[in-house]
C-alpha cells in the first residue's frame, strides 16, 4: 500500500490507535502506540521519535534519539486489541543524518537483499522457516542469591498420566508426539485458530501439526517469501501464536530446549536463489542440484560455526544441538540424513521446488540477522566456489570413529559459537551488510548478558550431583 492507501485502510477499518513495531538486537519485538490522529501522509517521511538508548543492544545515552519510519506495505489491523489498532513495522532512522540505523536488524536484512542484487549472482533469495514451539499451561521460574528453579506444567505432558483427579489420559508419549489425531493431539483447535488469525493478518500458511515432543510441541509452516518479508512474517507469526494462546489461558515458548529428555524446537530454514524469475538451485548434480547450489551449501558448511552464534544464539540452543540425539550438528549435506546440517528435500522434482534446508537454526534467533547471515554465507560459497565435500548419506550411527572424526560439527556451546564468529565474520562484512561495530556489539552483548550470566550461577542439578560430595 501507499501511505495514502494506508490512511484510507485505517479509516475504512475504523482504527483508533496506531501501533509501530520494530525489533531489538536479540530479536524481541518492541512497540509504541499513538492515537490514529497522529498519522498522516507526512508521517511516512518525518517518522516518530523514540529513545534508542533504552533498547537492548542499541545506542548509548548520548546518541539516543531515533526515528521510526512506518513501512506502509506492512499494515494490518491487530486482531487482539480492544481498541481497533492499525499496526505497521518500522525502519529505524538516525534523526540527524537521516540514514538508516546500523543496529536496526531489519536494515541489515534489507542490505543483504541489496547486496544480492548488486552481486549479479541472483536478484531474489527466498526463505521458508519452520518454527516449532511449546504450548504450556503453567510456567514458574526464579533466580536469586540463594535459590534458582523452573517448573513447567502442561495438561498434555506425559508426566501427568499418573494424576489422580481430572485425568482422561490421551497424552503423547515422550518422543512420539508426531502427528497423532485428537484427543491425543490436544491443540488441533487452538492451532487452527492461530492459523486463521495469521491468514487474516496477511500470512500465507501451508500446514500445521503436532510435533515430536510431549507437553504441547507444535509446528505451523509458512509459505516461503523474500528475505526481509520472511523475517517480518516470522515476527508476526510469533506475535499471533503467543497472543492466541494467551487468550486461551495458555503460554507459548520458543525456547529451543525447555524439556529435559524430549525433543527440542528447531527452525529448519529452506532457502534458494532466483534470477529473473528462474530458480538457480535446480540442476543435474547431486539430488538434482546445480553447481551454484552446491557452492552455496559449501558456504553454509564452511561458515557454520560462525553462523551458529546468530542462528542458534542462546545458551539453551546448545541443549538442543547435542551429538547423538538426531540433532543437526553435522556440518555436511544429504538428501535424506536429517542429522546433516544441510538437507535437500526430495518431495518434488520441479525445478522451482529445489532448495536447501538448513537445519541448525532455532526459533530463539533474530530472523533478520539469521536470514541475512545465512544468505551471506551461501553467497560467499558461490563467489569463492567452495566445495561442500561428499554428501553424508550414511546413517551417522553407522560411521566408525575415524569416519565420524572427518565430519565437522556445530559448536557445543554459545561461548564456542561466539569465538567462531569473532574469528570468522569477514563474509558478513561484504557490502557493509553487517558492520564490524555491529558484530563486536553483538558478541559483547551475548558474552556479558548471557554466557557470563549463566556461568556465574549455580545450576539446580549441581546440587543433585555435588551437595554431599
Share of the chain above pLDDT 70, in %: 97
Beta partners for residue 34, in sequence order: 18
User: Catalytic residue among 113, 219, 225, 362, which?
Assistant: 219
pLDDT of residue 397: 62
CA within 13 Å, CB half, 326: 10
Give tens-digit pLDDT for 69-91.
999 999 999 999 999 999 999 99
**Is residue 140 flagged as an active site residue?**
no
- How does DSSP classify residue 193? H
Strand, helix or coil for residue 151: strand
User: Catalytic residue among 268, 303, 343, 425, which?
Assistant: 268
Give tens-digit pLDDT for 326-382.
688 889 999 877 788 999 998 888 999 999 999 999 999 999 999 999 999 999 999
CB–CB of 158/176 below 8 Å? no
Q: Is the pLDDT of residue 9 over 90?
A: yes
**Is residue 444 flagged as an active site residue?**
no
Confidence of residue 63 (pLDDT cuts 50, 70, 90): low
**Is residue 359 flagged as an active site residue?**
yes
**Is residue 56 flagged as an active site residue?**
no
User: Catalytic residue among 8, 51, 437, 444, which?
Assistant: 51
User: Catalytic residue among 338, 440, 457, 459, which?
Assistant: 338
User: Catalytic residue among 156, 357, 380, 415, which?
Assistant: 357
Please choose, from the candidates 47, 72, 68, 48, the residue with its C-alpha nearest in 3D space to the C-alpha of residue 58: 68
User: Catalytic residue among 171, 242, 359, 425, which?
Assistant: 359
Beta strand spans in 187-325 (E): 205-210, 217-222, 225-226, 251-253, 267-275, 278-279
**Is residue 193 flagged as an active site residue?**
no
CA within 13 Å, CB half, 274: 18
User: Catalytic residue among 78, 130, 225, 415, which?
Assistant: 130
Residue 285 cell numbers, joined: 548434480
**Is residue 132 flagged as an active site residue?**
yes
Give tens-digit pLDDT for 235-276.
999 999 999 999 999 999 999 999 999 999 999 999 999 999
Asked if residue 183 has a cis previous peptide bond (ω within 30° of 0), the answer is yes
**Is residue 425 flagged as an active site residue?**
no
pLDDT of residue 407: 85
**Is residue 19 flagged as an active site residue?**
no
**Is residue 209 flagged as an active site residue?**
no
Amino acid at each position: 500500500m501507499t501511505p495514502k492507501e494506508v490512511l484510507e485502510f485505517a479509516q475504512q477499518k475504523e482504527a483508533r490507535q496506531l501501533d509501530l513495531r520494530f525489533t531489538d538486537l536479540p530479536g524481541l519485538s518492541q512497540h509504541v502506540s499513538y492515537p490514529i490522529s497522529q498519522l498522516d501522509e507526512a508521517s511516512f517521511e518525518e517518522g516518530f521519535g523514540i529513545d534508542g538508548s533504552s533498547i537492548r543492544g542499541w545506542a548509548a545515552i548520548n546518541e539516543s534519539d531515533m526515528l521510526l519510519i512506518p513501512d506502509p506495505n506492512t499494515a494490518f489491523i491487530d486482531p487482539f486489541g480492544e481498541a481497533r489498532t492499525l499496526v505497521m513495522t518500522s525502519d529505524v532512522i538516525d534523526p540527524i543524518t537521516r540514514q538508516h540505523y546500523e543496529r536496526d536488524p531489519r536494515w541489515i536484512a534489507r542490505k543483504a537483499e541489496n547486496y544480492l542484487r548488486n552481486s549479479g549472482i541472483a536478484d531474489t533469495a527466498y526463505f521458508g522457516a519452520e518454527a516449532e514451539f511449546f504450548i504450556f499451561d503453567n510456567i514458574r521460574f526464579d533466580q536469586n542469591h540463594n535459590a534458582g528453579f523452573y517448573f513447567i506444567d502442561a495438561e498434555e505432558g506425559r508426566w501427568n498420566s499418573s494424576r489422580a483427579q481430572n485425568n482422561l489420559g490421551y497424552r503423547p508419549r515422550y518422543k512420539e508426539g508426531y502427528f497423532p489425531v485428537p484427543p491425543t493431539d490436544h491443540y488441533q483447535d487452538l492451532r487452527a485458530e492461530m492459523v486463521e488469525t495469521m491468514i487474516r493478518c496477511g500470512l500465507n500458511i501451508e500446514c500445521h501439526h503436532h510435533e515430536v515432543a510431549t507437553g504441547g510441541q507444535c509446528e505451523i509452516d509458512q509459505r516461503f517469501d523474500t528475505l526481509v518479508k520472511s523475517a517480518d512474517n516470522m515476527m508476526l507469526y510469533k506475535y499471533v501464536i503467543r497472543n492466541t494462546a494467551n487468550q486461551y489461558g495458555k503460554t507459548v515458548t520458543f525456547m529451543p530446549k525447555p524439556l529435559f529428555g524430549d525433543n527440542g524446537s528447531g527452525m529448519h530454514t529452506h532457502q534458494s536463489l532466483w534470477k529473473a524469475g528462474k530458480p538457480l538451485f535446480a540442476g543435474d548434480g547431486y539430488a538434482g542440484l546445480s553447481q551454484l547450489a552446491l557452492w552455496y551449501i559449501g558456504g553454509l558448511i564452511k561458515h557454520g560455526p560462525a553462523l551458529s552464534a546468530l542462528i542458534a544464539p542462546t545458551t539453551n540452543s546448545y541443549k538442543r544441538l547435542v551429538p547423538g540425539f538426531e540433532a543437526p550438528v553435522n556440518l555436511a549435506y544429504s538428501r535424506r540424513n536429517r542429522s546433516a546440517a544441510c538437507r535437500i528435500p526430495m518431495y518434488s522434482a520441479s525445478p522451482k521446488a529445489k532448495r536447501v534446508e538448513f537445519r541448525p537454526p532455532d526459533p530463539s534467533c533474530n530472523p533478520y540477522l539469521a536470514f541475512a547471515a545465512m544468505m551471506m554465507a551461501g553467497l560467499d560459497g558461490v563467489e569463492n566456489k567452495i566445495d561442500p565435500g561428499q554428501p553424508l548419506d550414511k546413517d551417522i550411527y553407522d560411521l566408525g570413529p575415524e569416519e565420524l572424526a572427518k565430519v565437522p560439527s556445530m559448536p557445543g556451546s554459545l561461548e564456542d559459537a561466539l569465538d567462531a564468529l569473532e574469528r570468522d565474520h569477514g563474509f558478513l562484512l561484504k557490502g557493509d551488510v553487517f558492520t564490524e561495530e555491529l558484530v563486536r556489539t553483538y558478541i559483547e552483548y551475548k558474552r556479558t548478558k548471557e554466557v557470563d550470566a549463566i556461568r556465574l550461577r549455580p545450576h539446580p542439578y549441581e546440587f543433585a550431583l555435588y551437595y554431599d560430595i
